[in-house]
Structure 1
Amino acid sequence: METDDRYIVPGLVRGLEALQAFSNEKRELSVSELAEIIGVNRSSAFRVAYTLEHCGFLQKEENSRRYSLNSKVLELGFTYLSGLDLLEPSRPIMQRLRDQTTIACHLVIRQGTDIVFVDRYQSTGPFTSTVGVGTRWPAHATVTGQLLLSDMSDEAITELYQDYQWEAFTEDTPASLEALLARIREVRGQPALVSWGYFNPGMAACAAPIFRQSDGGMIASVSVSCPLGGIPREEFEGRIRDAVISAAQSLSRTLSLNNAHS
């Protein structure tokens, strides 16, 4: 998207970059670390952190000069998610899917060229999923992302990936627009996609689409994941895949009923 720099507020950009600097690996940051990540001097980083702390988005750890995200950041996320009308109706269906499969279940949406995990039910077996709510992965490299992209036209995908910096994670990752479009044409219209080490060489995953009944648009996906070998491949591509498809179809119908009654 083309932008006009005259309308950009540099301080706001730096504040948003500062919030995005925190992650599961970097839960706490000093002013010096923040300055290095967002590319400003220490004085500017301090003012950004101080402002965000004043507004409730950062908090300073007790007896420390390190900052961490405050709960007000979550309010923004929950406000957005509640507007999707997905979380509440999806939870009993996802919990049932997790109980049927015993492995981690996720609710996933697409934002631009990324997929975003917006809800999760942890597995009941020995494997603990490290994928948390808010995790972002590149859509082109994952079967979940390719599934969500498949609802777009080739023209829309071409525009979305204009000037995209391609990154390969395995030999199966599409490394160009042409390769991605070829892959999307292969998967378009399928009821589910299975990954057997496709994105993460040690993981299996399966995703199925959730549709908006009013216009048939794909709005999200339900997915499950576990380590390779946690479930035999034949069972994963059979029973597990069928359960994921059934859960996605059930949620699509539930959303339709909710909309009809609203």
Structure 2
Amino acid sequence: MEMDERYIVPGLVRGLKALQAFSDERRELSVSELADAIEVNRSSAFRIIYTLESCGFLYKAEGARRYRLNSKVLDLGFTYLSGLDLLEPSRPIIQRLRDEVTIACHLVIRQGTEIVFVDRYQATGPFTSTVGVGTRWPAHATVTGQLLLSDLSDEAIVELYRDYQWATYTEGTPHSTASLLACIAEVRGRPALISWGYFNPVMAACSAPIYRLSDNSMIASISVSCPLSSFPRAEFEGRIQDKVIQAGHDLSRTLSLNNAYP
């Protein structure tokens, strides 16, 4: 989508970039570190931090000249999530799947070239998933992302990835539009996709589609993930995959019956 730069507010853009500079790896930032992260001078970074702190989105870490995200940031995410009609009806199904397979279960949507985890049920076993609500991963590099991309036409994928900066994570990661299209052609129409170290070399994942039954369009994905050592590969590709596929079918029907996605 082409944007008319005359209507863009530069200060707001810098403020949003400042919020996005915080992550699990960078939970605290100094003024200088933020300035480097968003490529502004220290004076501009201080004004941005001062404004965000005044509005309640940042707070100063106790006893240090460093800043952290404040809980008010969560309000933005919760407002967005509450508007997703698929959350409430999906939860009993995702919880049941988690109880059956005992590993972490996720509800995932696609936004542009990224997948976004919008709900999660933690594993009941010893493994604790670090993937939280709001986590974003590159769609091209994950089986869940490729599953969701497979609902698009080749022409739409080419347009979506025009001028995209490709990053690779393992040997199997598509590194160009052509290689992504080849990958999508192989997976399109499958009832589920399995990753056995595909995105993260030590993790297994399985993802199945959730459809709007009226037009058979894919609206989300239900997935599970765990360390490779959690199950024999045959069991993961058999029993676990079957459970995930069934959960995807059940949720598709439930959303249709609830008129959430008629």
TM-score class, shorter-chain normalisation, is over 0.9
Q: Relative to structure 2, which stretch is displaced further, 212-221 or 229-238? A: 212-221
Offset, 1:81: 1.4
What's the TM-score once normalised by structure 2's chain length? 0.96
- Cα separation, 2, equivalents of 1:90 and 1:25: 30
Letter in 2 for 1:50: Y
Offset, 1:240: 0.2
- Cα separation, 1, equivalents of 2:154 and 2:188: 11
Q: Does 1:163 align with 2:172?
A: no
Which consecutive unaligned segments of at least 5 residues does structure 2 have?
A: none
Offset, 1:61: 2.3
Q: Is the 8 A contact 2:211 2:218 kept in 1?
A: yes
Q: Does 1:256 align with 2:256?
A: yes
Instruction: Name the counterpart of 1:112.
Output: 112
Instruction: Name the counterpart of 2:172.
Output: 172
C-alpha change, 1:220 and 1:260, in structure 2 (3 Å) is closer
Offset, 1:144: 0.2
Offset, 1:261: 11
Instruction: Name the counterpart of 2:36.
Output: 36
Letter in 1 for 2:111: Q
Q: Does 1:3 align with 2:8?
A: no
Count of aligned pairs? 262
What's the TM-score once normalised by structure 1's chain length? 0.96
Over the aligned positions, Cα root-mean-square deviation in angstroms equals 1.5
Matches within 5 A, 1:1-262: 1-259=1-259
Q: Secondary structure at the match of 1:236?
A: helix
- Cα separation, 2, equivalents of 1:242 and 1:217: 21
Q: Secondary structure at the match of 1:229?
A: helix
Q: Is the 8 A contact 2:212 2:261 kept in 1?
A: no
Identity %: 79
C-alpha change, 1:261 and 1:140, in structure 2 (3 Å) is closer
